Amino acid sequence: MFKQFISAIPGADVYMVGSFLTFLIFFVLVGLYLLLADKEHLRHISQLPLDDTSV
């Protein structure tokens, strides 16, 4: 059923591939950021909501 709607729209394959690539690139970049980020900074940021002295 979904295939019938997509085949009726001209150029829909370009939009689907473009949105998939945008989704993929975004999450790859976020993953790389998390892998390469300074671990001490991430640990400090994760403790901020629990720390009462940072007011």
**Could you report the per-residue pLDDT of 1-55, keeping only the tens digit for each?**
667 777 787 877 888 889 999 999 999 999 999 999 999 998 998 888 887 775 5
Whole-number pLDDT of residue 34: 92
Cα–Cα–Cα angle for 26, 29, 35, rounded to 5 degrees: 140
Dist. CA 3–CA 7, nearest whole Å: 6
Q: How far is CA 4 from CA 8, 13, 15, 44, 47, in A?
A: 6, 13, 16, 51, 50
Residue with tokens 């729209």: 9
Instruction: Name the token pair of 10.
Output: 């001209």
